[in-house]
A and B are shown apart, each in its own frame.
Chain A
Amino acid sequence: MGMRQFFIKLGRQRALLLMSLPFVVWLFVFKYVPIWGWSIAFQDYKPALGFWEQTWIGLDHFQFLFGDERFLRVLRNTLAMSTINLVLGFGTAITLALLLNEVRRVAFKRVVQTVSYLPHFISWVVAASIIQNTLAPDGILNQLLVWTGFIDEGNEILFLGIPEYFWGIFGVGTVWKDIGWNTIVYLAAMTTIDPSQYEAAEMDGAGRFKRMIHVTLPGIRPVIVVLLIMNIGYLMESGFEPQYLLGNGMNVDYSENIDIFVLKYGIAQSNFSLSIAAGMFKTIVSFILLFAANHIAKRTGESRLF
């Protein structure tokens, strides 16, 4: 198609152009222009100076980051929490989906599903408020522990004050919030399994549990594989809200991740250069991971996006 033809066709499609171009401009302003800000990571940025008056210092900030104990710690926390999220999130959601699929009473199943979606829709602020209540010294968890005799009255555990507990609390909290929501995709995949496979398994004397393991689980394997590969692309994204809202001075060594590091250096201390360097590092690693994940997912035969 020549240039002339292209513009003639575009002229005929000016309505479509009008309907999409303003949003492409929006996209550039809000999503692409900020990339320009990455240049600050290579400068000794002084907010009072113009762009051309800044001192360029190359990779000094990146060098500093990788020698900085605090940054290495937040990197560790980021990877640990996203891995916990991945393993725990997948395991629990698949298990719940398998069990839900075995519930024969349709009305009961629907009620369970509706209830299980609930925590997904509430904000992390509300969830954090609820988690704080549950874990408080006079909260229900400590009460249960006293009641069952695991701890003595007066020795209640300060869960959010013990750093080593934080990853566990984060993992359980995230599962509580999203387990129901994450079953949707698996349950959808299960409806595509051929019923004759269940009949054949039943003929062979397989009980409900065996059918679940040998028919249903293999049936949703393709979906599991694709989602797993895709999620590896998000290994640098361990979330921000749960860590920020449940984190405190006592558990900071385990709760602080890269996003919080960026926020603290950038907004609280106005050290834009260092903060952007940290954020940029995260984005670039994420980009590589996502790209690789997408590539692998495509090769497994499940095409993604358009």
Chain B
Amino acid sequence: MKMARAGGAIHAAMEGRSRIRTSAGDRIFDVCNYGFMIVLMVVTLYPFLNVLAVSLNQAQDSIKGGIYVLPRVWTLDNYMYIFKEATIFHATLISVLRTVIGTAATVFCSAMVAYTISRPDYVLRKLVTICFILTMYFNGGLIPTYLLIRDLGMIGSFWVYIWPGLIGVFNLIIIRSFIDGLPESILESGRIDGAGDFRTFFSIVLPLTTPVLATVALFSGVYQWNSWFDVFLYNSSHIELSTLQYELQKILQNSNITSGMSGLDGMIKGMTGSQSAVTPLSVRATMTIVASVPIILVYPFLQKYFVKGMMVGGVKG
């Protein structure tokens, strides 16, 4: 009896002490954790805010340096300038075109193939699946692909942006997983009504898979908008097919490593003249913003979808 009471007292004392200690520890942990999250956000966002500030600051003034997150002399001249520049305006147009056409084509074609390989009774299901999966393990590589594109006569053509990357295996996987998760009875109900596979695909599968198609559209759209290497590889001598990212890459490549934003870039200098209102620094900042803003505006709204897509694809793919 005595023993038990003593034991209980010790236990209570220990629990009390440990509760105080852990809650103090927890508070320190929380403070450090929130502090870390804020640092992370600053490190992530500051570079963008800085570029944005430079793009909105009067060009000659930016050379003096000292611009951090707010412009000193506000202006929209830099933006006016780059959109008046025919090359950049046209490149933006091509970027938009390849993003819209490429995304639509990828979403539609991927959904169609994914539907066929989700039909359990399709006799070629295994074969088609394996043909696609195998390409995850090997590819011909850069030069053989380049030679193929050349032999197909696609160099100097807009379609070289669309065809080679039409269907990605990753996209197939996530769409197929989504279709597999749909209740079979819905797909069957169409069949009982006499709908063929085309009708089932268009009127049942496409509308029901919108969430996963939104994910694929985001991935594909981001890929198309951000691409510059295929432009460089296939169309570097076709200025009429250049894209925004490639124009920015050219500026980046020409800028000297010894200078950052304030460096003098021979190419833009030639383009703008010495007395111009814009400088290489401001043009580069402005193009960096134009090249990233469309994506920054879109992705937060699709977060719910792509997080789900990554959960399926991340473990399976």
Q: Which residues of A contact B (CB under 8 A)?
A: 6, 9-10, 13, 15-17, 19-20, 23-24, 26-38, 40, 96, 99-100, 102-104, 108, 111-119, 121-126, 128-130, 132-140, 158, 160-161, 176, 180-181, 184-185, 188, 205-209, 223, 226-227, 240-241, 245, 248, 250, 259, 262-263, 266-267, 272, 275-276, 279-280, 282-284, 286-287, 290-291, 302, 304-306
Min distance, Cβ A42 to any Cβ of chain B, angstroms: 13
Q: Which residue of B has the minimal Cβ distance to A250?
A: B257
Does A114 lie within 8 Å of B257, measured CB to CB?
no
Number of A-B residue pairs at CB separation under 8 A: 283
Instruction: Choose from B29, B46, B65 the contact partner of A208 (Cβ within 8 Å).
Output: B29
Across chains A and B, which 10 residue pairs bring their CB atoms closest together, nearest first?
A136-B260, A34-B140, A37-B144, A123-B226, A279-B141, A15-B197, A185-B314, A34-B144, A207-B22, A20-B116
Extra contacts besides A13-B121, A108-B34, A130-B47 (17): CB < 8 Å: A13-B123, A20-B128, A23-B112, A27-B135, A111-B41, A115-B45, A123-B228, A123-B245, A129-B248, A130-B48, A133-B260, A137-B259, A160-B257, A185-B315, A208-B25, A259-B142, A276-B143
Point out the residues of chain B lying under 8 angstroms from A136, CB to CB.
259-263
Point out the residues of chain B lying under 8 angstroms from A118, CB to CB.
44-45, 48, 296, 299
Contact (A30, B119) CB under 8 Å given A129-B252, A158-B257 = no
Q: Which residue of A has the minimal Cβ distance to B19?
A: A205
Q: Which residues of B contact A (CB under 8 A)?
A: 15, 18-19, 21-22, 25-26, 29-30, 33-34, 36-37, 40-41, 43-48, 50-51, 65, 109, 112-113, 115-117, 119, 121-124, 128-129, 131-133, 135-148, 152, 163-164, 166-167, 173, 196-198, 201, 222, 225-229, 233, 245, 248-249, 252-253, 255, 257-263, 284, 288, 291-292, 295-296, 299-300, 303, 307, 310-311, 314-317
Contact (A129, B284) CB under 8 Å given A26-B167, A291-B137 = yes
Cα of A130 to Cα of B314 in the assembled complex, Å: 28
Min distance, Cβ A118 to any Cβ of chain B, angstroms: 6
Does A115 lie within 8 Å of B41, measured CB to CB?
yes
Cα of A138 to Cα of B248 in the assembled complex, Å: 21
